Amino acid sequence: MTSASLIIRNAQVLLPSGEMASKEVAVSDGKITAVGTGLSVSNNIKVIDGSGLTLLPGVIDPQVHFRDPGLEHKEDLFTATCACARGGVTSFLEMPNTLPLTITQEILTDKLAIAAAKSLVNYGFFIGATADNLPDLREAHPTCGIKIFMGSAHGPLSVDTEKTIEPIFAVGDRLIAVHAEDQARIMERRKLFAGQTDPATHSKIQDNQTALNATKLALKLSKKYQRRLHILHLSTGEEAELLRRDKPSWVTTEVTPQHLLLDVSAYEKIGTLAQMNPPLKSERDREILWQALLDGIIDFIATDHAPHTLEEKGRGYPNTPSGMPGVETSLPLMLTQAKENRCTVAQVSNWMSTAVAQAYQIPNKGLIEPGYDADLVLVDLSTYRPVLREELQTKCGWSPFEGWTLTGWPVVTIVGGQVVYDHGKIDTSVRGQALRFE
Ligand code: DOR
């Protein structure tokens, strides 16, 4: 008899081979114990009927801003992870621009404690680089890596010259994730466009060259020190083509659903809700990014979930903050693309789970296989539903994709064997665990 406290029956299961098959998945003590047919389990366990549904590994979102502590008027770890539960996101890696900034062991430890108390899904945190916290960057534990804001940040997290960035690449061996925009160029171009209030100006100021300059510098330093580099939210065709020509084996990169699906035309429809960093680019950039993703130049997908209130977004450009929420729409957005034959469901799951677990060396996640953690999402690939503001769980209460009709919405989300989301209901008593990084 298979040891199980929970069994999912009748679903189409995405197997590690990439094939879909009708299988049963048994879960015990937070782990997958068996994947098979006609599994023998005891009678009194929880049964989830997956008829008509597809079972995927839970999404691991490797770039989010959940605002807790310090900016809880925008989002907090409870509301953000309710949104994760609804979006099929079972683990996340969060950025250091919370208050206080996550730049020391003590602050990282505090953040882990807040997450243990509030997070419905599994969590990991970046440590932020400043010009003078090298010992913290080397020692802090546990962390998925070092985040460097080469541009688009202010205050101590802005580490934006080769002179300040190079020592971080030179010392230590843990992963460095870069927000690659050239801050000096941004400052110059802000002067050129001073007085402009059209939000589309944002993409003109922080143009393709702004992103390319910083990506080139990060690549140069990574090669000089053979340092593990991850380039966050790639936004331009030029960066994708550069990496197509020259991407060392120790470098990875990601793209967001919004850089694949929205472009500068979005400003006309949703104004400053389309404002983010790095900014949306042209339709041509989107096409090149898509091809780079399909060709394996881009390794995986992150949302850069970065909520701001509608009041903040209504202040009028350029007084508006950059960023948009994403965790509760990313999986249906990408699965809708799969249904439209832009890619396959197996590719989406690889980009949103398996490849992320590999890149960040998160053990036992990202596959549906015995011994792996029972972080799972059952999605409905036959029904289409719109993105509705009133259903959003994120505290900011809006999405750039409102009104888009999507398929692949999660029906059940499971974190460590616990059902956290079930047909529209969130079990707010569920808590995730701190991720480990090997
Ligand atoms: O648009 C963005 N907003 N990009 C970032 O990298 C940071 C983020 C934020 O924290 O608001």
Beta strands in 15-66 (DSSP E): 20-28, 31-36, 46-49, 54-57, 59-64
What's the token pair of residue 368?
Answer: 């549906």
pLDDT band at 48 (very low <50, low <70, confident <90, very high): very high
Residues 319, 197 contacting (CB under 8 angstroms): no
Give dist(CA 171, CA 324) in Å, integer.
34
Q: Does residue 276 have its Cβ closer than 6 Å to ligand 1? A: yes
- Give ∠ CA 229-235-241 in degrees, rounded to 5: 75
In angstroms, what CA-CA distances link 362 with 111, 219, 339, 376? 19, 24, 29, 16
Residue 65 alpha carbon, nearest atom of ligand 1: 10
Q: How far apart are CA 130 and CA 156, in angstroms?
A: 5
The model's pLDDT over 356-384, given as tens digits with 9 standing for 90+, comes to 999 999 999 999 999 999 999 999 999 99
**pLDDT band for position 98 (50/70/90)?**
very high
Residue in the structure block whose two tokens are 């020391």: 104
Closest CA relative to residue 166, chosen from 217, 230, 216 = 217
Cβ of 256 less than 6 Å from ligand 1 = no
86 closest CA partner among 438, 408, 435, 363: 408
Per-residue pLDDT band for 84 (boundaries 50, 70, 90) equals very high
* Nearest residue by C-alpha to atom 10 in ligand 1: 306
Are the C-beta atoms of 33 and 45 separated by less than 8 Å? no
Residue 381 Cα, ligand 1 centroid: separation in angstroms?
31
Active site residue 299: no
Residue 143: is its pLDDT beyond 90?
yes
Q: Ligand 1: does its nearest atom lie under 6 Å from the Cβ of 230? A: no
Q: Which long-range contacts (CB under 8 A, 24 or more apart) does 342-349 make?
A: 342/290, 343/293, 343/294, 344/18, 345/14, 345/20, 345/54, 345/56, 345/381, 346/14, 346/18, 346/19, 346/20, 347/294, 349/14, 349/56, 349/57
Atom of ligand 1 nearest to the CA of 307: 11
What is the average per-residue pLDDT within 195-199? 98
Mean pLDDT of 283-287: 98
- Predicted local distance difference test score (pLDDT) of residue 226: 98
User: Ligand 1 pocket, 62 CB below 6 A?
Assistant: no
Whose Cα sits closest to atom 4 in ligand 1?
277
Distance CA 262, CA 286 (A): 8
Q: Write down the catalytic residue from 68, 76, 304, 375.
A: 304
Hey, what domains does the chain have and what are their CATH numbers?
57-359 (3.20.20.140)
Task: Please give the pLDDT value at position 154.
Answer: 86
Does the C-beta of 97 come closer than 6 Å to ligand 1?
yes
Q: What is the pLDDT of residues 207-229, one digit of tens each?
A: 999 999 999 999 999 999 999 99
What is d(CA 79, CA 65) in angstroms, rounded to the nearest whole number? 12
Would you state the structure tokens that stand for residue 360, as one six-digit string?
A: 């960040």
Digit-coded pLDDT (tens) for 406-422: 999 999 999 999 999 99
Q: What percent of the chain has pLDDT over 70?
A: 100
pLDDT at position 185 is 98
Please compute the mean of the pLDDT values over residues 16-34 and round it to a whole number.
98
Tokens representing 80 are 């953000």
